[in-house]
Amino acid sequence: MRLRKIKNIEEKIKNYSDIIVFDAVSKKGKWNSQFKNENPIYLEIGMGKGKFLLEHARLNPNINYIGCELSDSVIYKAAEKAEKAKQEENITNLLMINNDACMLNDIFSSGEVSKVYLNFSDPWPKSRHAKRRLTADTFLNVYKNLLGVDGIIEMKTDNRKLFEFSLMKFNEFGWIFEELSLDLHSDKEDIITTEYEDRFVNLGQQIYYVKVRIK
Ligand SMILES: C[S@@+](CC[C@H](N)C(=O)[O-])C[C@H]1O[C@@H](n2cnc3c(N)ncnc32)[C@H](O)[C@@H]1O
């Protein structure tokens, strides 16, 4: 997500320490205590400005949501919105972590997460950058561990090549394809969208969607 770096972001971001968990590694295996309940945990990786996750948190108070976002300027924007929702609507089932997805095995214990969302992940189109795609082998092994058997991954993208690459990888891992759409917005109604998705849909672009279950 392209966003100009916010001035003094390292200081400003600390204002949201009740939403952004800065010592995420120390919470490994203890996320349910952090939420003070035993509800399932759904994780969005590369959350961006957080619209998708905030809307889910509003609609599903019995699910705990965690947004993972690498960029501090981007997560700051997401945390601003989440803080407002916490104050005004008492939304308490949404937390955020400012980490790289490659660290997730240090942050969650095996089976601690029930679902992973990958929404409009950076496509990294050049072959030499394939390992950086969030559906490359290293990342899928991380998700496999934190989700455990029967864990779910839902992915949405506008990028056909990233979609095909990801389908091939899910298939190589032997995961079960539960749902697939080559035009999500024609096939389904009442879709909770992301910031990127709104942009692409307004441009008339197709959105690809897949849901897989870990075997
Ligand atoms: C194209 S944006 C999509 C944002 C949002 N999901 C949406 O659909 O509006 C991709 C986001 O993923 C984040 N990101 C990229 N690589 C990441 C990684 N390895 N770990 C965590 N976040 C990452 C970027 O900082 C960026 O905000």
Atom of ligand 1 nearest to the CA of 102: 19
Distance from the alpha carbon of residue 47 to the mean position of ligand 1, in angstroms:
6
Q: How confident is the model at residue 5 (pLDDT cuts 50, 70, 90)?
A: confident
Q: What is the pLDDT of residue 1?
A: 54
- Tell me the whole-structure pTM to 2 decimals: 0.97
Instruction: Look at ligand 1, atom 23, and give the residue with the nearest C-alpha.
Output: 46
Cβ partners under 8 Å of residue 16, min gap 6: 76, 79, 80, 82, 83
Ligand 1 binding pocket mutation candidate from 51, 99, 120 (most atoms within 8 A of CB): 120
Q: Which two tokens stand for residue 168?
A: 């091939």
Burial 101-136 (b: 16+ CB within 10 A, else e): beebeebbbeebbbbbbbbbbebbeeeeeeeebbbb
Q: Which residues line ligand 1 (CB under 6 A)?
A: 1, 45-48, 68-71, 74, 100-101, 119-122, 194-197
Q: 179-190 pLDDT, tens per residue?
A: 999 999 999 999
Give yes or no for a contact between 98 and 70, defined as CB atoms under 8 angstroms apart.
yes
Q: 107-144 pLDDT, tens per residue?
A: 999 999 999 999 999 999 999 999 999 999 999 999 99
70-74 average pLDDT score: 96
Q: How confident is the model at residue 168 (pLDDT cuts 50, 70, 90)?
A: very high
Domain extent listing, the chain: 10-213
Q: How confident is the model at residue 70 (pLDDT cuts 50, 70, 90)?
A: very high
Give yes or no for a contact between 41 and 113, defined as CB atoms under 8 angstroms apart.
yes
Q: 146-160 pLDDT, tens per residue?
A: 999 999 999 999 999
Measured CA to CA, the distance from residue 136 to residue 64 in angstroms comes to 26
161-177 average pLDDT score: 98
Q: 12-52 pLDDT, tens per residue?
A: 999 999 999 999 999 999 999 999 999 999 999 999 999 99
What is the chain's mean pLDDT, rounded? Answer: 97
Q: Does domain 10-213 sit in CATH 3.30.70.260?
A: no
Q: What is the pLDDT of residue 6?
A: 84
Residue pointed to by tokens 């795609």: 133
